[in-house]
Amino acid sequence: MLRRTTLGIAGLTVFFVTLSVFSIWLVVHDPLMDALRDGAKGQDFPQVVQLSAAEAYGDHWTSVAVICPAEDRELVEDRLGLSLDTPEYGPAEDENIAVMLDDDGGFESVTYKRSEVDWCSGYQEAHLNPVGHLEFSRASEDAPWVLVKSY
């Protein structure tokens, strides 16, 4: 009986450790950053990566729209036809938000530091407008990925 209890506790311990590691991986794993890193492999600087919304975030997502700093949530919701849980007056100056959309009306949003991924340096087609294709460029290892084209 004692051996079964010990094995049961060991099994639960392994399960919770595995679950914790997977949960941490989900929190730090960003599919866009992975796609940019993979797309840039072997390129000298400046690096340029073109990808679809599905390649950036997964097959479920068909388009991406961008919310830049100081954009009123009401305006964003009207333009995108969504009810969002974003800051009332947009993201902070050093942030931007990518909103992934699917064909069934589903959406998710991700906030990026502009020092990592800058969606808002120029007003691209993706600004408050869902697009399916993205092109990012990075000038150096220390520079952010910058959205340079979208359609």
How far is 68 from 70, CA to CA, in rounded Å?
7
Q: Which domain holds residue 69?
A: 31-150
Is 22's pLDDT higher than 70?
Answer: no
Helix (H/G/I), strand (E/B), else coil: 11 = helix
In which band, very low, low, confident or very high, does the pLDDT at 1 lie, cut at 50, 70 and 90?
low
For residue 20, is it within any domain?
Answer: no
For residue 4, is it within any domain?
Answer: no
For residue 130, is it within any domain?
Answer: yes
Nearest one of 146, 126, 150 to 40, comparing CA atoms? 146
22-42 mean pLDDT: 78
Q: Which residue has the higher pLDDT, 131 or 126?
A: 131
For residue 113, is it within any domain?
Answer: yes
How far is 52 from 6, CA to CA, in rounded Å?
50
Spatial contact of 118 and 69, defined as CB atoms under 8 Å apart:
no
Q: What is the pLDDT of residue 13?
A: 73
Percent above pLDDT 90 for the chain: 67
CA distances, 111 to each of 50, 74, 118, 138 (Å) = 20, 18, 11, 19
Any idea how long the chain is? 151
For residue 16, is it within any domain?
Answer: no
13-39 mean pLDDT: 69
> How confident is the model over 59-104, as pLDDT tens digits?
999 999 999 998 989 999 999 999 998 888 889 999 999 999 999 9
In which band, very low, low, confident or very high, does the pLDDT at 2 lie, cut at 50, 70 and 90?
low
For residue 112, is it within any domain?
Answer: yes
| Beta bridge pairs of residue 95 | 113
Q: What is the pLDDT of residue 107?
A: 94
Number of domains present in the structure of the chain: 1
For residue 3, is it within any domain?
Answer: no
Q: What is the pLDDT of residue 125?
A: 79
For residue 59, is it within any domain?
Answer: yes
Helix (H/G/I), strand (E/B), else coil: 116 = coil
